[in-house]
Amino acid sequence: AIVAVLYLGGVATVLAYAIWGDLLRRYPAATVTPFALLVPFVAAYASSLVFGERFGGLRLIGMALVLLGLAVIVQPWPRVGDARSGTLHA
């Protein structure tokens, strides 16, 4: 049990922060930060794989809404007045 605590507290945490820091160095924070919303989703999915946990409809709908919200946030939408969107400034 001590080895598991040391692994989770040391190795996994340091690795996760190193990856997070590298992503923040490469990409703007506004691009990287929304992916923190995936932490509960990944944990729930991992519990279903490892422990065989079953989810009810409400939890599945909630997980789908989180994924949909993340997709909306990271989608590059054209700005109003942007030359690429074909609109002109008023």
Q: Is there a domain that residue 66 lies in?
A: yes
pLDDT for res 84: 60
Contacts 24+ apart (CB under 8 A), 68-77: 69/37, 70/34, 70/35, 70/37, 70/38, 73/34, 74/31, 74/34, 74/35
Q: Provide the domain limits for residue 57.
A: 2-76
Mark out the alpha helices in the chain (DSSP H runs): 2-6, 13-26, 29-32, 38-51, 57-74
How many independent structural domains does the chain possess?
1
Asked if residue 68 is part of any domain, the answer here is yes
Per-residue pLDDT tens digits for 32-88: 998 888 888 888 888 999 999 998 999 999 999 989 999 998 888 787 776 665 555
pTM above 0.75, yes or no: no
Q: Is residue 85 part of a domain?
A: no
